[in-house]
Chains A and B, each alone.
Chain A
């Protein structure tokens, strides 16, 4: 049991396999305050394995009564289910924790049963999908937070998908939008034309129509005004009970939506809010085309969430349209896709772990065994209340790991022109923003062609005059950092501008082959006459993709590679040269669900810069503290599922071919040497046939192993006997030969 509570990282399937005591539902008549005893406990941990967990209401009442009982000198808990049994006080904490595990297990058990039913009740069409969903469940840790959602939410947020009629909530819709956005980013045409917004957009849209000013909507406005993307998809929550997908086409100036429920009233509020926003911020009038966005039809009262995701994916990627008959299949598929987003994050930093998981680790039974202290129970049971805040506040805070040297390396970072389609151009510095929530750094980035706009303006556009000293320092530090970058860039340009100056300053020009070809490439690049070798380029892309499978490439005046984790473009030193990008990927410390894709959740450009500056500042001041912070980033354990057919469709074929004839079998010439002491080529047809049968025997052995292992063992034993006899004969012959040689030698002497 101790292992169970410790192992919050075990997979859901493993949790389902682990036996846990059931929670009782009996009505306990004993008053909670009478369940404490001043006598010493007479039971230990072992007895808890076989006893049921008390009912949840009784546990809550006991929790409330515990404080006073402890003051009264209580030393044990009277177990109402067993006469004369007194349990240690920490059993209360154990019951609380194990009942949480029990509840989560029950939830997943229901989902697992539902999946099994889907695969059994004649629904053979979704057998493969249920297997994939079960596979995804095996990859999810039941107790770990779901990083793709954030906010300490666990994987149970996906449970509504594994049921017949559960409504989908905003977590699932937001996560789906994020998944679609990531998918669209991998398609070059869509990544430069389409944006998929999360629910926050439509919420802000409706608030803005009521006269509220919200900074996020302002960001979208300035982004679409710059004309970088032409199409915007977004989901909206309508009438407090319905999901609808919308599309705004900024090229054709149209607003369209797809409502899966035909009988539903028009989503007039959202339409009006969107039209108001467009009318206010864009000069061209937009036309409402109505429900013309191709969409599936729901015939039930609970599939609109699925339909919203499907409508967007159908219009973007041409996915199969939702049909009522396949609604369960769509649910299973969406669960699998969303669950896989968690595994795509790989190792997660501990900083994003939820409070519950931390508490879980601290409240393991092993710890309880180590600390037979009543105070321990008090401290742990009040972690959620205010009393624990001071100690929690004093805990070392894990800050995002951002490499300090990265700041100077960012020549393709968010300040440069190359990132225009990936990071959001914030409000213009010329127009003062009324939102104090927006950072100055974001304000400073303006039109990317204007270089001077990157330098922080002397006057800040903040409403609050009470700007902290620290802020000013960070601003000045950021400013100086940018100036440094600018100066370094200009100096680089000067150096690369003339090769003769390089040779005069840095000594004689290299005459090695590589140096010559490097210079040639540089010159061709500069002159714009570089003819790209497809083979070399493929190799270059392959090498970069090894470092970052989601990397993207641009072949312009200089070659650029995009790192998906930190969302920045990196300029390569030379064509076909991957060293800069690979170096960055190895050094990049941006981890976890750092979102760089426009459209789902806007990444904070300012956090990259200011955090980097702050981290550097901290490192300069107290390196020890930084190390201490870093030491708290313990990578979470991930469940290894091994390689299966789900990873690659041809994998089973490869596995089947492993024991194929020919590859790895013994050489015919060696066998012929063993049998006839002659090379294979000198054998006649009959002898060759015999040698062939020997190789066939070996093949048959493998086949026997596959059919019946017992027979195979017999064959192996016989073969080993034969080999032993052969070896004996060989040794004897060797001995005889050596004797003959010795006798000959002695005779010659």
Chain B
């Protein structure tokens, strides 16, 4: 994750700025990974955040299903938009990678055991 997210402070335009109405005015959203790396997105208020999730997953080279996006501590649903979540300019989305656990054995120990 850290390898791919090394390029911090980058901005991606998800959608061209064609309308300047209140609802569709773009906002800047900061996506912060668990390692603290930041990626900035400019996104319309009524664009589904699933698109941002897909763009971020592509950027960091991960499967979108293996990444958890959280806003204010709660998981973001695919249908959510900045408008529905009351997001403001420069708000932060936290990213957590999928974690699985079963034992604390190192891979060397595990291979010996099996």
User: How many Å lie between the Cα of A653 and that of B110 in the bound state?
Assistant: 53
B-chain residues with CB within 8 Å of residue A152 when the two chains form the complex:
77-79
Distance (whole angstroms) from the CB of B50 to the closest CB of chain A: 6
User: Could you tell me if B100 and A301 are in contact, using CB atoms closer than 8 angstroms?
Assistant: no
Secondary structure type dominating chain B contacts:
loop
User: Could you tell me if A241 and B103 are in contact, using CB atoms closer than 8 angstroms?
Assistant: yes
Contact among A150, A264, A435 with B75 in the assembled complex (CB-CB below 8 Å): A150
User: Could you tell me if A199 and B101 are in contact, using CB atoms closer than 8 angstroms?
Assistant: no
B-chain residues with CB within 8 Å of residue A198 when the two chains form the complex:
73
Contact among B34, B46, B48 with A203 in the assembled complex (CB-CB below 8 Å): B34
Contact among B36, B44, B76, B101 with A214 in the assembled complex (CB-CB below 8 Å): B36
Is B7 among interface residues, defined by CB-CB distance under 8 A?
no
B-chain residues with CB within 8 Å of residue A168 when the two chains form the complex:
100-102
Distance (whole angstroms) from the CB of B74 to the closest CB of chain A: 5
Smallest Cβ-Cβ distance to A262: which chain B residue = B104
**Total residue contacts A-B, CB cutoff 8 A:** 182
User: How many Å lie between the Cα of A400 and that of B71 in the bound state?
Assistant: 15
User: Could you tell me if A170 and B92 are in contact, using CB atoms closer than 8 angstroms?
Assistant: no
Contact among A212, A240, A358, A439 with B36 in the assembled complex (CB-CB below 8 Å): A212
A-chain residues with CB within 8 Å of residue B113 when the two chains form the complex:
301
User: Could you tell me if B34 and A602 are in contact, using CB atoms closer than 8 angstroms?
Assistant: no
User: How many Å lie between the Cα of A153 and that of B67 in the bound state?
Assistant: 12
Is A595 among interface residues, defined by CB-CB distance under 8 A?
yes
Distance (whole angstroms) from the CB of A380 to the closest CB of chain B: 16
User: Could you tell me if B47 and A389 are in contact, using CB atoms closer than 8 angstroms?
Assistant: yes
Take A301-B110, A607-B86 as given contacts and tell me if A150 and B104 are in contact as well, using a CB distance cutoff of 8 Å.
no
Is A181 among interface residues, defined by CB-CB distance under 8 A?
no
User: How many Å lie between the Cα of A615 and that of B102 in the bound state?
Assistant: 46
A-chain residues with CB within 8 Å of residue B81 when the two chains form the complex:
397
Is B89 among interface residues, defined by CB-CB distance under 8 A?
yes
User: Could you tell me if B74 and A595 are in contact, using CB atoms closer than 8 angstroms?
Assistant: yes
Distance (whole angstroms) from the CB of A388 to the closest CB of chain B: 10
Secondary structure type dominating chain A contacts:
loop
Query: How big is the B interface, by class?
Result: 35 or more
Is B12 among interface residues, defined by CB-CB distance under 8 A?
no
Is A443 among interface residues, defined by CB-CB distance under 8 A?
no
Take A215-B92, A241-B101, A351-B84 as given contacts and tell me if A151 and B69 are in contact as well, using a CB distance cutoff of 8 Å.
yes
Is A33 among interface residues, defined by CB-CB distance under 8 A?
no
Is B22 among interface residues, defined by CB-CB distance under 8 A?
yes
User: How many Å lie between the Cα of A203 and that of B110 in the bound state?
Assistant: 25
Contact among B51, B69, B89 with A466 in the assembled complex (CB-CB below 8 Å): B89
User: How many Å lie between the Cα of A313 and that of B81 in the bound state?
Assistant: 36
User: Could you tell me if A149 and B75 are in contact, using CB atoms closer than 8 angstroms?
Assistant: yes
Cβ proximity bits A433-474 to B, threshold 8 Å, 1 near / 0 not: 001110100000000000000000000001110111011000
User: Could you tell me if B68 and A151 are in contact, using CB atoms closer than 8 angstroms?
Assistant: yes
Smallest Cβ-Cβ distance to A605: which chain B residue = B72
Apart from A389-B51, A393-B46, what 19 extra A-B contacts exist at CB < 8 Å? A168-B101, A169-B101, A170-B68, A170-B98, A170-B99, A203-B96, A216-B94, A241-B103, A241-B105, A259-B104, A263-B105, A300-B103, A351-B80, A351-B84, A355-B79, A389-B48, A392-B48, A394-B46, A437-B91
**A–B pairs, 21, beta carbons within 8 Å:** A151-B68, A170-B99, A199-B96, A239-B104, A242-B104, A259-B104, A263-B104, A300-B103, A304-B104, A351-B77, A358-B79, A389-B48, A393-B44, A393-B46, A398-B84, A462-B90, A464-B89, A467-B89, A470-B22, A604-B73, A614-B86
Chain A residues with a Cβ under 8 A of chain B: 145, 149-153, 165, 167-170, 173, 198-200, 203-204, 207, 210-216, 237-243, 259, 261, 263-265, 298, 300-305, 351-355, 358, 386, 389, 392-394, 397-400, 435-437, 439, 462-464, 466-468, 470-471, 595, 601-602, 604, 606-607, 610-611, 614
